[in-house]
Structure 1
C-alpha cells in the first residue's frame, strides 16, 4: 500500500509498507493467544494499546502502550512508528543482532524505557516531525545524556533506539525519516560514550545472603514435609464448606439442590452439638468491636448445609441455648498433628486462614522448585501438571516445560508461544515431591496459578490473559512467606526465623545466582532435610541446566571466577608471609599463584560468559580440598574428573583425591587439617574395642598422613 495516510501529509509511503487506518488492529500481523477475545482487540485510533493478546507467557504482567505519555506534537508519528515495529515483517536490527523482528514484550520495554524519553527530549526542542531532527541535534542529545546534571541510565540502549528509528527510514514516509547520514557518522556507541562496552550486560541481580537462603529453604522444606498434609486436608475441608456458600454454588452443579429434606436438619443439629460437647469444643464465633463474642451463624449454616436464616428459627434457638461456649474463631476439624520436635504450633486450623496457608504452601513449593532446579523464574511459573517424571532406566527425576528466552524460529525471531525444552531439567527428588504437592493443592493446569481456586477472591488484573502468577506476584508471596514465618517464630519463641539479608526484597530472579554461589562455595554444605549441594551440583550440571541455552553455566562460571580469585589472593598473601608448600606439584603451585595474580588481579568482567571463558585458563586450575591442594592438570589427574577434560568447567573430585597423584600439593594450611586428622585417628586406633578391619584401615591411613607430615616439615627446614 503506497497511499499516504489521511491524518497528515506524510509523503509517499514506501512500497511494501502497510499504512494503518484508524480502525486497523494494533496486533494485525501478530500471533494471538487462543484465549484472546478478538472482539476486544485494540485499534490504531485507541490511545492505549493493549498488547496482552499477543503475549503467550502465562506469568507476564499486563502490558500496554499508553500514548498519552507521548507529547501531542509527536504522538501520531510515534503511534505509526510503534505500529510498524509490531507488524512490519522486515525490520532493521542493531549490529550483531540475530533476529529481524523484535518481540511484543520488547516493543513495550523499548517504549517505556527509552522511546518515551527520546520523544519527550525532541519535543522540548521544538521538534514536531521526525524529519526535523538534524545531526547537530543528535550530537546535542549525546552531550545532554552525558551531562552529569542530566544523567540517564542505560545510555547505550537509548542511542540504540535512535539508531533503530534511523534504521527504519526505508519503510517510513519522508516526514518520519531521520537524516540520511547514519547518526554520529556511524561511530560506535562505545566510542561515543567513552566506555569499553556497548551495553550493560553484567548481571546486577544480588544473590541471597547465606543465612537468609539457608533458613528460607529450611522453612520451605518444613512446609513440604511437615505442614503439607494437614494444609491439604484443611484445604479440602474448606473447599467443601465454601461450595455450600451462595458464592461457591455458582461454580458447582449444586446451585439449586435442596440442602435438607424435612426432618433431616434437627438430627444433624443434635449430632453437631453432641460432638462439640464430647470434644470440649465451642460454637464458632467472632468478637465484635466492643469485645463481645457472637455466634458465626453463617459458618454453622455451612457445616449443617442449610440457609443462614437458621438463626431465626427454633433450631437456631436450640443452638444458641445449648450452653456451649462461643469461641473466637470458626475451627475446622483438621488439626496439625505435628511431631514432638515441631511443637508448640498451630494445633487448630481456622476456616478463615486456609486460603493463606494454601498460598504459603504453594510459595514454599515455588522456593524448592525454582531454587533447586536452577530454572528461570518465568520457566518455573509456566510449569504445568505432569511436568515431572522419573526415568526408570537412569533413576533420574526429569522436569519438562516451556522456555521462552532463546526460543527462536529459523529466521532468528522469538517464537511467541515458546517451545518445549528438548533437554529437561534434571532435579532431585525433593523437587518432584514439591510438584506432587502442587498438583494436589489446586485444580489448575498450571502449577502456580494466580488463584488456587477459581472462586477464591483475590485481586487480579483482568487485562492479563495469562493465569500464572507474575514475577511481582511471586515476589509478594515470598515476602508474605517470610513475614508469616517470622511472626510465628516470635509468637512461639522459636530461634529460627528467616533473617533479612539487607539486599532488597526477595525475588525469584535471585535464586539462580544464589544456587550457583552455594554450589561453588559450599559443595559439602548441608541444607535443610540433609540435601547436599554436592548432590545438587551433579544434578544441576546434567540435562537442561548443564546446557548453555539454560544460562546456568554462565551463572556458575561467574561465581567460580570470583571464588578462585579470592583463593588466589589468600594464597599469594600466605606465600608472601613465608608459607611452605610441599608435594609433587609444589613448584607448579607457586608458579601459578604468582602468574595468576599478575594477570588477573584487578581484572574487570563485563558479563558472565567472559568468566566462563576465563576459568578455563590453566593458571586458575588450583582447587583447595581438605588437607590437600590440587594443581590440576586434567591429563595427569588420578581422580575421576567432574566433566570432560576439554570442558572449561572441569574440576577435580577432591573427595576422591589419590595420595600418589602428581597434581598434589600441600600448604601449611592443609597441614593443619592433616595434624587434626592424625590426632583423631590416633584416638580411634587407641580404642581396644575397635573392629579389627577398621583398626587396620585406620592404621594404614595414619601412617600415610604421618609420612605426608614428615615430608612437609623436612622440606620446610631445608
Structure 2
C-alpha cells in the first residue's frame, strides 16, 4: 500500500481518526533521547525504520525494521500496525501483561514472528488481513505446532497473533482480524499442548572449573597487572597524540638542530639500556626500522622525511640492533609465581588490546560479584561507588530499566535511579576504580575505550558495550590467558562445556556457587559469607532485583537432588537415629511424592515452593538438620517468622532437637573417632588439649552407640 498526500486514517486512542502520511515520524509519540535531531527521524513512507532514538539503554544494539522484506500486498498493513504498536497503547493488553504499550526493544523482538505470519499469509494468497478467518488461524496454529523450531519460538509466533488481534480497533476495518479472539483466547501453552523446557536450561551456568579460573585471572588483572597496563596504555595514547593539536590534526615542526639533539639522546638512552631500535616485520620476513613509531617517539614531522634525512642517517649509523616490534618503555613490575606476568616489554600496538582485556576483567569482577543484571552493569557510570565508613560497606549506585514503569505499567524508557544501592565487596569497588583510571568516558564500559577511534555503527545511539561484544571480549580474554599458559595447564581457563561465555550467565552462576560451593565461591581472600551477606543485605536481597529468585531456584534444585539421594539411600536400607529421625523419614517420602518430575516455569515459583516443610532438610558436617525454626538451637539466617528462614549449619548445637543422623553421617563420625583415638594416645600432648579431645571422643562414642542401639534388630 502506498499512502498518498492525504494519508490514511487510523483510529486514535481518543476514538478520533488520526491522519498518517508518508512524512509522519515513526517515533511520533515516543520519548526521545535528549539532543535527538527530529528532522533525521525515520518517516512512515520509508521502507527502513530506525527506532534507536527512542531507546535509552546505553548497551542496546541498533534496531530497525526492513519493510521491503514484507510481501508487497501486506506491506502497507505491516507499517500501519507497527506504527500503532510503537505510538499507541493497546486497547486490550495481552493476558498476564500489565503493560499497555510495549517497550521499543520488545517491539523489535516482535519483528521475526510477525514476518513469519506475513510470509505464511502471502504463500496462501492472502492480500489483506480482512481475508483472515478463524479457520485460517487454525491452519496457522497447526503449521506452527508442526514447525521444527524451538518451543519458545512457537510461543512467540502465537503471542504475536494475539497481540495483532489486541490492536484491531486501532486499525481500519479492512485491516482487522475477526471479531472473536484467536483460538477462543487460549494461551500459547494451552494451544500447543506442551510446557516450556525446564527453567534450568534457559540460562546455563558457567561450569565450576571455568568460573574459578576466569575469576582468578580477572582478579589478577585488577589487583596486580592494572598498574602496568594503565601505564602502557597512557604511553600508547601519549605517542598517538604527540605533536597533534586536539581536534585539528596539525603536526608541530621542531627545528632540525633540536631533532638531531633529540635523536642523539635517544640513541644514548638505548645504548645504556641495551635496547633496540623499534622495528617491524615486512612481508618477506625481513625486519626493518619502524619509522612511523620513531616519528612519535622523536616528535618528528613525518616518517618519510625522518627516514631520508640526517636524523634518520644517525639512527642507521648507530649500529643498534633492530627489534621485531615497536616496544613501549613501560616497565613490567607485576609477577606471577616469581616470574613477570608479561614476557618482555609491551608492544605499542598491543597496549590497547591489553587495556581491553583489563576492561573485560573488570566486567567479570563487577558483573559476577555484584549479582547485578547485565544491562545495569553496562549502564554504570563514573562515580557509582561510595564507601559507607560507619557500616564498612561499599555501595554501588546505578540506573535500572527492567521493571522501571509508570503508574500505568508502561516502561519508562530512560529508566530509574535505583533507590537502594547494590552492597558490594571491595574487589568490585577496586574494579570500578581501575576503569575510572583507564579512560575519560562517563560510562564505565564504553563501546570504544580510546577516544580517537571511531565507532562503526553510527545508527546505534548508546555508547556502552553491547552484550554481544562482551561475549567477544570474554572469548578474547580467555584466548589471551590460555595462549600464555600453553605450558602451564594448571593456570589455564578451561573451555566451558555449556557454550560460549557471556555476561548474561554470571547471575545464574553466582547463585549456583552460593548454594552449592559456599567455600569455593571466589578466588583469593574473598570469603563466601562476606559476599553472601553483602548481596542479600543490599540491592540483591530485594525482590525487585530478581537475584533472590535466582538463588531460590538454585536452592530448590539442590534440595531436590539431595532429597532424591536421601530417598534412594532409605530404600537401600539406610538407618537413621537421633531426635528428628522419624520426621526425616516422613519428609523424604513426602518430598518424593510431591516433587518427583516437577517442572519449574519461573525462579519466583521456586522461591514460593521453598517454604514447603518437605524441603526443610539440610545436610551438614556429620549431621542432618530436619529444620523446624521454632525449636532450632542454632543462629538462624533470617527470623523465625520468615517463611524462607534457614538454619546456620556451621552453628549446629549438639543438643538440638532438629538433628538426625544417617548412616552416611555416622560413617563420617567413625572416621573422626578413629582420628581422635590416635590423638588422645599421644602422651606428649598438652594436658588441656588432651582433656578437650577426650571429651569430644566420649561424645562421639555415645552418638555411635546410640545409633547402633536404635537400629539393632530386636531379639
| TM-score between the two structures when normalised by the length of structure 1 | 0.93
1:589 maps onto 2:587 in alignment: no
Report if aligned partners of 1:382, 1:448 keep a CA contact under 8 Å in 2.
Answer: yes
Report if aligned partners of 1:642, 1:653 keep a CA contact under 8 Å in 2.
Answer: yes
Report if aligned partners of 2:210, 2:496 keep a CA contact under 8 Å in 1.
Answer: yes
1:244 maps onto 2:242 in alignment: yes
Report if aligned partners of 1:243, 1:252 keep a CA contact under 8 Å in 2.
Answer: no
Report if aligned partners of 1:11, 1:174 keep a CA contact under 8 Å in 2.
Answer: no
- Tell me the equivalent position of 1:461: 457
Q: Report the Cα distance in structure 2 between the residues aligned to 1:451 and 1:262, rounded to whole angstroms.
A: 37
Map of 1:74-93 to 2, 5 A cutoff?
A: 74-93=74-93
1:219 maps onto 2:217 in alignment: yes
Residue 703 of structure 1: how far off its partner (Å): 3.4
Residue 707 of structure 1: how far off its partner (Å): 2.7
- Tell me the equivalent position of 1:284: 278
Q: Find 1:451's aligned residue among 448, 462, 466.
A: 448
Residue 64 of structure 1: how far off its partner (Å): 0.6
- Tell me the equivalent position of 2:708: 713
Residue 691 of structure 1: how far off its partner (Å): 5.9
Where does structure 1 lack aligned partners over 5 or more consecutive residues? none
Q: Report the Cα distance in structure 1 between the residues aligned to 2:277 and 2:692, rounded to whole angstroms.
A: 68
Q: Report the Cα distance in structure 1 between the residues aligned to 2:10 and 2:535, rounded to whole angstroms.
A: 57
Residue 375 of structure 1: how far off its partner (Å): 0.9
1:294 maps onto 2:293 in alignment: no
Closer, same or farther: CA 413–531 of 1 in aligned 2, 3 Å: same
- Tell me the equivalent position of 1:40: 40
Report if aligned partners of 2:90, 2:166 keep a CA contact under 8 Å in 1.
Answer: no
Q: Report the Cα distance in structure 2 between the residues aligned to 1:513 and 1:151, rounded to whole angstroms.
A: 22
Closer, same or farther: CA 152–671 of 1 in aligned 2, 3 Å: closer
SS state of the match for residue 411, structure 1? coil
Q: Find 2:468's aligned residue among 469, 472, 476.
A: 472
Deviates more, 1:315-324 or 1:336-345: 336-345
Closer, same or farther: CA 698–225 of 1 in aligned 2, 3 Å: farther
Q: Report the Cα distance in structure 2 between the residues aligned to 1:137 and 1:66, rounded to whole angstroms.
A: 26
Residue 236 of structure 1: how far off its partner (Å): 1.1
Report if aligned partners of 2:199, 2:600 keep a CA contact under 8 Å in 1.
Answer: no
- Tell me the equivalent position of 2:265: 271
- Tell me the equivalent position of 1:323: 319
- Tell me the equivalent position of 1:68: 68
Residue 207 of structure 1: how far off its partner (Å): 1.0
Map of 1:30-429 to 2, 5 A cutoff?
A: 30-112=30-112, 114-147=113-146, 153-195=152-194, 204-244=202-242, 249=244, 251=246, 255-256=249-250, 258=252, 260-261=254-255, 263-307=257-301, 308=303, 309-339=305-335, 341-343=337-339, 345-429=342-426
Q: Report the Cα distance in structure 2 between the residues aligned to 1:388 and 1:702, rounded to whole angstroms.
A: 51
Residue 695 of structure 1: how far off its partner (Å): 4.9
Q: Report the Cα distance in structure 2 between the residues aligned to 1:501 and 1:175, rounded to whole angstroms.
A: 53
Q: Find 1:572's aligned residue among 567, 576, 579.
A: 567
Q: Over residues 667-698 of structure 1, what are the superposed CA-to-partner deviations in whole Å (9 max), with x where a residue is unaligned?
A: 12112222333344455555667666555544
Residue 399 of structure 1: how far off its partner (Å): 1.1
Closer, same or farther: CA 343–12 of 1 in aligned 2, 3 Å: closer
Closer, same or farther: CA 268–148 of 1 in aligned 2, 3 Å: closer
SS state of the match for residue 27, structure 1? coil
Task: Calculate the aligned-residue CA RMSD, in Å.
Answer: 2.4
Q: Report the Cα distance in structure 2 between the residues aligned to 1:427 and 1:174, rounded to whole angstroms.
A: 56
- Tell me the equivalent position of 1:528: 523
Q: Report the Cα distance in structure 1 between the residues aligned to 2:9 and 2:306, rounded to whole angstroms.
A: 76
Q: Over residues 56-93 of structure 1, what are the superposed CA-to-partner deviations in whole Å (9 max), with x where a residue is unaligned?
A: 00000000111111111100111011101111245431
Residue 356 of structure 1: how far off its partner (Å): 0.6
Q: Report the Cα distance in structure 1 between the residues aligned to 2:40 and 2:433, rounded to whole angstroms.
A: 38
Q: Report the Cα distance in structure 2 between the residues aligned to 1:152 and 1:395, rounded to whole angstroms.
A: 48
Residue 717 of structure 1: how far off its partner (Å): 2.7
Report if aligned partners of 1:681, 1:702 keep a CA contact under 8 Å in 2.
Answer: yes
Q: Over residues 430-457 of structure 1, what are the superposed CA-to-partner deviations in whole Å (9 max), with x where a residue is unaligned?
A: 1111111111111111110011111135
Report if aligned partners of 1:443, 1:453 keep a CA contact under 8 Å in 2.
Answer: no
Q: Find 1:510's aligned residue among 505, 527, 531.
A: 505
Report if aligned partners of 2:7, 2:19 keep a CA contact under 8 Å in 1.
Answer: no
Closer, same or farther: CA 121–707 of 1 in aligned 2, 3 Å: same
1:432 maps onto 2:429 in alignment: yes
Residue 32 of structure 1: how far off its partner (Å): 0.6
Map of 1:588-667 to 2, 5 A cutoff?
A: 588-667=583-662
Closer, same or farther: CA 272–692 of 1 in aligned 2, 3 Å: farther
Report if aligned partners of 1:27, 1:86 keep a CA contact under 8 Å in 2.
Answer: yes
Residue 17 of structure 1: how far off its partner (Å): 4.2
Q: Over residues 401-422 of structure 1, what are the superposed CA-to-partner deviations in whole Å (9 max), with x where a residue is unaligned?
A: 1111111111100000001111
Report if aligned partners of 2:53, 2:461 keep a CA contact under 8 Å in 1.
Answer: yes
| TM-score between the two structures when normalised by the length of structure 2 | 0.94
Closer, same or farther: CA 150–30 of 1 in aligned 2, 3 Å: closer
SS state of the match for residue 75, structure 1? helix
SS state of the match for residue 65, structure 1? strand
SS state of the match for residue 549, structure 1? helix
Q: Report the Cα distance in structure 1 between the residues aligned to 2:137 and 2:198, rounded to whole angstroms.
A: 22
Residue 617 of structure 1: how far off its partner (Å): 0.3
Q: Report the Cα distance in structure 2 between the residues aligned to 1:231 and 1:175, rounded to whole angstroms.
A: 64
Q: Report the Cα distance in structure 1 between the residues aligned to 2:10 and 2:609, rounded to whole angstroms.
A: 53
Closer, same or farther: CA 313–692 of 1 in aligned 2, 3 Å: farther
Deviates more, 1:438-447 or 1:542-551: 542-551
Map of 1:543-558 to 2, 5 A cutoff?
A: 543-558=538-553
Q: Report the Cα distance in structure 2 between the residues aligned to 1:241 and 1:665, rounded to whole angstroms.
A: 70
Q: Report the Cα distance in structure 2 between the residues aligned to 1:529 and 1:536, rounded to whole angstroms.
A: 13
SS state of the match for residue 49, structure 2? strand
SS state of the match for residue 477, structure 2? helix
* Aligned positions, number: 707
- Tell me the equivalent position of 1:26: 26
Q: Over residues 224-274 of structure 1, what are the superposed CA-to-partner deviations in whole Å (9 max), with x where a residue is unaligned?
A: 1221110011111111111127xxx36468x54745355322222222111
Q: Report the Cα distance in structure 2 between the residues aligned to 1:93 and 1:105, rounded to whole angstroms.
A: 17
Report if aligned partners of 1:251, 1:455 keep a CA contact under 8 Å in 2.
Answer: no
Residue 462 of structure 1: how far off its partner (Å): 1.4
Deviates more, 1:116-125 or 1:33-42: 33-42
Where does structure 2 lack aligned partners over 5 or more consecutive residues? none
SS state of the match for residue 467, structure 1? coil
Report if aligned partners of 1:52, 1:465 keep a CA contact under 8 Å in 2.
Answer: yes
Report if aligned partners of 1:613, 1:648 keep a CA contact under 8 Å in 2.
Answer: no
Map of 1:663-678 to 2, 5 A cutoff?
A: 663-678=658-673
Q: Report the Cα distance in structure 2 between the residues aligned to 1:149 and 1:397, rounded to whole angstroms.
A: 50
Closer, same or farther: CA 563–672 of 1 in aligned 2, 3 Å: same
Residue 23 of structure 1: how far off its partner (Å): 0.5
